[in-house]
Amino acid sequence: MKVFITRKLPDVAEQLLVKHGIVVDVYEKDRPIPRRELLRRSKDADGIVSLLTEKVDKQFIDNLKHCKVIANYAVGYDNIDVDYAKSKGIFVTNTPDILTDSTADLTVALILACARHIVRSDEFVRKGKYVGWKPKLFLGTELKDKVVGIIGAGRIGTEVAKRLKAFGTKIIYFNNSQNNKIEKYVSAERVTLNKLLKKSDIISVHLPLSSLTYHILNKNNLKFLKQNVILVNTSRGEVIEEDTLVKMLKQRKIFVAGFDVYENEPKINKELFALDNVVLLPHIGSATFEARFRMAELAAKNVIAVLSGKKPITPIY
Ligand code: DGY
């Protein structure tokens, strides 16, 4: 059996696979594998560990000779044509739950960074501009008593709500499905998306990317935002019409926006660099030692399960 891992991951993935007698091929460079090389090296694999930077589309899937499982090293799987993989009898798995806390922590950090100008303040000090205490230096906003709108109340949205509740906020949320798990943990009101946009002082986006959520926030509804809202997105960039958001940021219709993800990742709209009311992160929601170790471990375990004739642990379908 052979498994192709499309990027170097925490060692545990390779170690587990090798322990199970599996031959492992790993793309050795720390950057996305060129497409031709990806197709060449994955062709004869029985299992693949993929990253969100690889397009697992029809061409990729048709190129596989006898692959039984594609284990995505991410909770999101919008990079994979899941229906097509399914039609070819290939299992697709992801890494849910184990990165929830890391992503929720990062989201709260991003909200606080936006609310209190943490990044600009740091830059200010480093540039030697701090010459003494000033009554109006980097005035921010408290979280207490603010209305927080959670868009997408799944695992991560729920954990963010739990954390923000401790700051004395009021939580409202929008969720397409009837999954009201969030209300088990915090008192929260389910509202329509438009109502959430109109009422929230702080908005945090936690949506998986799909045809239903693509540009779910766009010029037709972003116009409802309160003046001085804080908006952060740690899910997928494509759920927000980025051009509209940039325009609003330039017009100061938004207090501060925090991005961990971008519409055309890794390309970033250059206009964002010129704005001082944005905090820009390089898609690091799950980037903790703990989460990345567990993600590597779970991806490998999913592959091992399928290649041993068992059901995967966290299948997508
Ligand atoms: C995911 O898992 O989907 C994140 O975006 C990367 O960890």
7: its two tokens: 């990027």
Q: Which of 103, 155, 265, 288 has most ligand 1 atoms within 8 Å of CB, for mutation?
A: 103
C-beta separation of 107 from 283 below 8 A: no
Q: Which of 72, 99, 210, 295 has most ligand 1 atoms within 8 Å of CB, for mutation?
A: 99
Output the ligand 1 site: residues, CB below 6 A.
52, 74-76, 99, 285-286
Ligand 1 centre distance from Cα of residue 136 (Å): 38
Radius of gyration of the chain (CA): 21
What gap in Å lies between CA 35 and CA 105, rounded to an integer? 34
Contacts of 83 (CB under 8 A, 6+ apart): none
Sign of the CA dihedral 124, 233, 7, 18? positive
Ligand 1 centre distance from Cα of residue 227 (Å): 30
**Ligand 1 atom closest to the CA of 236, numbered from 1:** 5
2-96+289-307 against 100-280: fold identical: yes
Q: Is the pTM of this model over 0.85?
A: yes
Which parts of the chain have pLDDT scores under 70?
A: 178-180
Ligand 1 centre distance from Cα of residue 221 (Å): 26
* For the chain, domain boundaries: 2-96+289-307, 100-280
pLDDT of 179 reads: 65
Q: Does domain 100-280 have CATH number 3.40.50.720?
A: yes
pLDDT in tens, 227-262: 999 999 999 999 999 999 999 999 999 999 999 999
CATH fold group of domain 2-96+289-307:
Rossmann fold (3.40.50)
pLDDT of 181 reads: 81
pLDDT of 63 reads: 98
Long-range contacts from 20-29, C-beta under 8 angstroms, 24+ separation: 20/304, 20/307, 20/308, 22/46, 22/47, 22/303, 22/304, 22/307
Task: Report the amino acid identity of residue 178.
Answer: Q
pLDDT of 177 reads: 77
